[in-house]
Structure 1
């Protein structure tokens, strides 16, 4: 499941938060969208699948074989590899701390990794006190030093088996991603075209909602419409991919509703509830709950109407009476129209439209391209 999620995020973007994603702090998707979810160009979760497959095969063989020495050697090889999995779990836990996010799926896998060596040790008849000594003797024997093991670890045989399994797994997933080289070339061409653009000056109101570091030098502007399906993808994808860069970027959300009742630059009848949704988001920003309100609007695009906006405001702990008055206030309407004028000045033709430091980002949904742009922007800032 985690492997599939990582691959889909990389290819198609993060459309909707999964079941274990509640907010920016409690989110599996935020982790799957970061570079930490990949190792050697392959999803980390896939390496985990190969490890679990090896463990399953090793235990199965040890139960079926009548050669007890061979069974012990097989379990010992699995145990030794599981110790490496535990150390790797500590390493990945550090990444979670670095991201300041809790991934329930990841933590669950780490716990499984901790339990596996305990069960294997039990199968080998090892007590907790003898565990460390066993590992030391095993390593000595692997390197040809006489030890107290009652069996031969046969490092060449088991090393070849483990290497074969992981190599086949790597080749299999790499074939699944067979167009990576061509994709890399496309990304480099797109990156070159991106930086050949002349930056445009984008007008951002002082009260515009911002995510990330408000003082960051990389400014990302997202013009969006709450009734637009592609905007729903961008709403969750952008922050998911940018999560590991949240101290280096500031993401502004500006309204560009394709609603002729408030937007003079579009025809009437396209997104009839988008204008009121934009006004509701302005009121949510005033009451300090913009991003949570923003997420709920995009999760419930088919329910957009005035009654739902007020119900959602109540859910977010807003004063419903003042929220309703805010939605109808001329000042609110003018704020939305200032965003619309900003979009028009930037020559926005569609939603969502994303700009980074004044340059239009056409392939915002491509995780790898978005990361390359951010890396290059950071690199240029350091010069």
Structure 2
């Protein structure tokens, strides 16, 4: 092997490493692990990984023209900032779009996984949507804490009028933690690295999830 060839191969290896590092660290929102090997591209997201039978669907459209799926972490500030945009979109396009949310708590958040279990436990009593809203509306009161906020979350459950004995049991149940993990596993299989990650009709949304950006994509899809 000539000296020039050795140098060329060395430079190529360095450039490949740089490109890989940029790909892993890019994008918006909080980040976690890199996608699993062989994860499908956003344009080819399998429908069965995006929405399952037990996924929490907050809005439903009969025509199926627009489906939004958000992988979120209740403690993620970017998710909290996206929440009012999604609520405005849901209200404006009620009955014309499908919107499902999936859990994707990040390991760097002390109460992210707990908050997901809180929402799931509330869902066992038909109050998922109400708790989903409460968690985001109160995020500044509990997010980024270094200690457990379970007592605070129990207070939210009481405000919603939940059966507290059943709620505590569901919150601690292994099945609840497994339900959260199942969403997380689907996200990892889809290549989700951070939150919020939103899929629009099966393709990963590359634009910022602002009201204007979402509205433009929805209008175009509904008109097609």
The alignment's TM-score, normalised by the length of structure 1, stands at: 0.43
Q: Does 1:200 align with 2:45?
A: yes
Match of 1:298 among 127, 136, 143: 136
Instruction: Report the CA distance between 1:319 and its aligned residue.
Output: 0.5
Instruction: Report the CA distance between 1:330 and its aligned residue.
Output: 1.1
Aligned to 2:43, the other structure's residue is in SS state coil
Instruction: Report the CA distance between 1:232 and its aligned residue.
Output: 0.4
Q: Which residue of 2 aligns with 1:338?
A: 182
Q: Which residue of 2 aligns with 1:277?
A: 115
Match of 1:225 among 73, 80, 89: 73
Asked if 2 retains the 8 angstrom alpha-carbon contact of 1:354 and 1:364, the reply is no
* CA deviation vs aligned residue, 1:197-239 (integer Å, no higher than 9, x gap): 6241142232222122254512210110011101001122112
Describe the shift of the 1:285–1:307 C-alpha distance in structure 2 as closer, same or farther (beyond 3 A). same
Instruction: Report the CA distance between 1:313 and its aligned residue.
Output: 0.8
Structure 2, unpaired ranges of 5+? 1-41, 144-148
Runs of 4+, deviation exceeding 6 Å: none
Measured in 2, the distance between the counterparts of 1:341 and 1:333 equals 12
Structure 1, unpaired ranges of 5+? 1-196, 260-269
Q: Does 1:307 align with 2:151?
A: yes
Q: Does 1:243 align with 2:91?
A: yes
Q: Which has the higher strand share?
A: 2
Describe the shift of the 1:337–1:215 C-alpha distance in structure 2 as closer, same or farther (beyond 3 A). farther
Instruction: Report the CA distance between 1:296 and its aligned residue.
Output: 1.3
The alignment's TM-score, normalised by the length of structure 2, stands at: 0.72
Aligned residue pairs: how many?
174
- Tell me which of the two structures has the higher relative contact order, counting C-alpha pairs closer than 8 angstroms and 6 or more residues apart: 2
Q: Which has the higher helix share?
A: 1
